[in-house]
Structure 1
C-alpha cells in the first residue's frame, strides 16, 4: 500500500471526538472461563487477556468503541460487547462515538496508538489527560473528520491483506 498523504489532515482533541468512559471495577481473576472477551491494559491480542463468563445480570461494556491502555497508550477497536478491566489506575479507557464503524475504528485506533506512545507506566494516561490529547485525522470539505475516507482506506488495506494471505496459502500448498 502506498504511503498515506497526511498533508491535508487536521488536529482534533480526543475529548471533542469521543465520549470517554471507564468500565466498572472488575478483576479477571474473579471470572470463570467463558466466551466474552476480558479487555485489560495489554498491548497485544486486541487487549484481550482472557475469555470469561459474565456474572449473573452483569451488564457488558458496549462494543463499537476504542479501548486505550493508560499504561502505554495501546489502542484497539472493540467490535462486540466485552468485559473491561475497571477499578484501579490502570483500568482501560473506552472511547465512544456513535459514527464509528469497524473500519474507521481500526483506522483511528492506529492513529491514537501512534500518538500516545509517549505514555509509560510512570506517566500514565487518565480520563482528563486523554481528553486533551490531539490526534491528526483526514478531513472532509467541511473540516470535520472524514469517516468515509477512513472506511475506504481501511477497506483497501483489508483487501490487500487478504490477497497477500491468499498468495501465501497458495505458495505453502505449492
Structure 2
C-alpha cells in the first residue's frame, strides 16, 4: 500500500460548532458535543438546536481534550470548542472511513498539547498520511475494507469469548 500526504482541508469540509452556555441549555434528547475525551464527546442532552446541527461527521476538539475526535452517525449539536469534519468524498462518507480517519487524526494529538491550539487555521493546514489509489487520490475503498476487517475480527473475538464462557 502506497501512502501520501494530504491537508485536512483537502479531505474534509471543516465547519464550526456554536457556543451554547450552560444557562442557555434546556434538557432534552439531543446529544450536545463538547470538548471532552469521554462519552463519545457527549457532554449533555439538550432540546436546543442551532446551526451546528449535523450527523455522519467527525467532531474534533480544538479546545479541552485537543485533537480528540469522535464519529457521530446520529444528529447532534456541537460546542464552539469542537470542529465538525465532513468528508468531501460523499460516496465514502460512512462509519468505516470515518473511524479510519479518526485514528489518523489522533496521531496529531501530541503536537497540539500545552497551549498550542488545534485552531481552524492549523486544522486547515494540518497534514495527514493516507493510503492512495493508482491515481494518487485517497483510497477510500482500502480504508473502508481495513476497518470492516477490524470490526469483523473484534466481533469474532467477542463471540469466541462468550462461547468459551458458556462451555465452561
Q: Does 1:41 align with 2:31?
A: no
- SS of the equivalent of 2:113 reads coil
Q: CA RMSD in A?
A: 1.9
What CA deviation, in whole Å up to 9, does each residue of 1:69-89 have, x standing for no partner? 113211211112211112xxx
The residue that corresponds to 1:53 in the other structure is 47
Higher fraction of helix: 2
- SS of the equivalent of 1:54 reads coil
Higher fraction of strand: 2
Stretches of structure 1 that go unaligned for 5 or more consecutive residues are: 1-6
What TM-score results when the alignment is normalised by the length of structure 2?
A: 0.87
Stretches of structure 2 that go unaligned for 5 or more consecutive residues are: none
Off by >4 Å, runs of 4+ in structure 1: none
Q: Does 1:108 align with 2:101?
A: yes
Q: 1: distance between equivalents of 2:28 and 2:113?
A: 31
What TM-score results when the alignment is normalised by the length of structure 1?
A: 0.84
Q: 2: distance between equivalents of 1:69 and 1:25?
A: 14
8 Å contact 1:60–1:81 — kept in the other structure? no
Report the CA distance between 1:121 and its aligned residue.
Answer: 4.8
Report the CA distance between 1:92 and its aligned residue.
Answer: 0.5
The residue that corresponds to 1:165 in the other structure is 158
Residues 169/54 of structure 1: CA separation in 2 closer, same or farther (3 Å cut):
farther
The residue that corresponds to 1:62 in the other structure is 54
8 Å contact 2:62–2:118 — kept in the other structure? yes
